């Protein structure tokens, strides 16, 4: 489901539906959620929802740190610093 959100380029609102579904699935299965949260946060910025975007990005970044996933720590940092509030 996360991949569907990743490839839904032309409809940000629809992509968020897929990310929310992917997040529910990952939590139910106790799977990592950081990549979903970071992607969701980036899309929320596109919809001009900075508070929700920052919350997702910070939560995703914290999980990436806990999991030692340096790539996604840097990705969250990039989005947080390059996206205007």
As averages over each run of 10 residues, the pLDDT of the chain (85 residues) reads 89 94 97 98 94 97 98 97 78
DSSP 3-state assignment of 74?
Answer: helix
C-alpha distances out from residue 1 to 14, 49, 51, 85, Å: 12, 22, 24, 28
What's the confidence (pLDDT) of residue 85?
59
The structure's pTM equals 0.93
């Amino acid at each position: 489901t996360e991949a569907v959100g990743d490839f839904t380029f032309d409809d940000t609102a629809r992509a968020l539906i897929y990310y929310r579904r992917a997040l529910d699935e990952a939590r139910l299965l106790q799977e990592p959620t950081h990549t979903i949260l970071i992607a969701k946060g980036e899309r929320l910025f596109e919809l001009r929802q900075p508070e929700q975007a920052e919350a997702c990005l910070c939560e995703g970044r914290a999980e990436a740190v806990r999991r030692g996933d340096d790539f996604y720590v840097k990705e969250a940092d990039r989005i947080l610093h390059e996206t205007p509030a």
